[in-house]
Amino acid sequence: MANKVVKATNEELQQVYNNIPKAYDRANRFISFNQDVRWRADLVKTILKFCERPKLVLDVAGGKGELSYTFKKIFKVNAKYEIILSDYAENMLKMALIEEDKVLCSFDALPFREKMFDVVMSSFALHAADNIEDVIREITRVSRKIVGFIAMGKPDSWIKRVYLSVYLRYIMPYIAALAGAKSRDFKYIYYIYERVPTNSFHKKIFEKYIDIKVYEERGLNLFYFVVGFPKG
């Protein structure tokens, strides 16, 4: 009988995220081909192009708050605004880079009322969703102006899919090891990649809930980058 990939459950992923806060910065670096910092900044700037004076911002699955931190570095204004950092891994929030309020919650059940935030944003996280549509429904529900996110998808081209599969399974964990990390800490990324749907599948869901203003695929189409207005 052929061996099949054993897929990680949601609970296992939560445990991974709780256990790897120190290592995962490097994980983002490896999977984004060293572009994660730049892409977060691009995301913030693109969001601000469509929403110039946000007052309340939500960072979804924000981890230690890298995206919020970037937002604060780029959006320096005299007017007051607030950022709320949310994540379901307590250890991530405990290590937060920003002082702002933190909320422990899962992105498929956000404990906020409709249209509460001007900006709802997320980076390098939505691919962990069991059901991406539940998450997109939630983030568009709590946003009243704009949503913007970047996360791992899967190329529609099978050649790129195979290439990335080999890279994430066999090469990236060992590059991580060479850089001093534990290779097993990075294997979960391959499992996530295996279970995420293709970019075209994602895009159909995005279009259902979002009036898309910017849609791009980056890093050999491993990532989708989306900014738009919530519909309805």
Ligand X SMILES: C[S@@+](CC[C@H](N)C(=O)[O-])C[C@H]1O[C@@H](n2cnc3c(N)ncnc32)[C@H](O)[C@@H]1O
The nearer residue to ligand X, 92 or 210, going by C-beta atoms, is: 92
* Number of residues located near ligand X, criterion CB under 6 A: 18
| Among 151, 150, 152, 148, residue whose Cα is nearest residue 230 | 148
* Strands laid side by side in the 102-104 sheet: 102-104, 82-87, 56-59, 117-123, 143-152, 223-230, 210-218
Tokens standing for residue 147: 């949503």
Task: Work out how close the CB of 151 gets to ligand X at its nearest, in angstroms, rounded to a whole number.
Answer: 9
Burial class of residue 100 in the structure, from the number of CB atoms within 10 Å of its CB (0-12 exposed, 13-18 middle, 19+ buried): middle
Task: Work out how close the CB of 126 gets to ligand X at its nearest, in angstroms, rounded to a whole number.
Answer: 8
The nearer residue to ligand X, 9 or 157, going by C-beta atoms, is: 9
Helices (H) and strands (E) in the chain — how many of each? 10, 7
Angle between helices 36-50 and 66-74 (to 10 degrees): 60
Residue 42 is a binding residue for ligand X (CB under 6 A): no
Residue 24 is a binding residue for ligand X (CB under 6 A): yes
Task: Work out how close the CB of 82 gets to ligand X at its nearest, in angstroms, rounded to a whole number.
Answer: 18
The nearer residue to ligand X, 11 or 52, going by C-beta atoms, is: 11
Positions 203 through 222 that interact with ligand X (CB under 6 A): none
The nearer residue to ligand X, 79 or 101, going by C-beta atoms, is: 101
Task: Work out how close the CB of 220 gets to ligand X at its nearest, in angstroms, rounded to a whole number.
Answer: 18
- Cα(163)–Cα(77) distance, integer angstroms: 44
Q: Which of 8, 43, 61, 83 touches ligand X by CB under 6 A?
A: 61
Residue count of the chain, please give it.
Answer: 232
| Among 100, 156, 145, 157, residue whose Cα is nearest residue 121 | 145
Positions 83 through 142 that interact with ligand X (CB under 6 A): 87-89, 92, 106-107, 123-125, 128
The nearer residue to ligand X, 1 or 125, going by C-beta atoms, is: 125
Q: Which chain residues interact with ligand X by CB under 6 A?
A: 17, 24, 28, 61-63, 66-67, 87-89, 92, 106-107, 123-125, 128
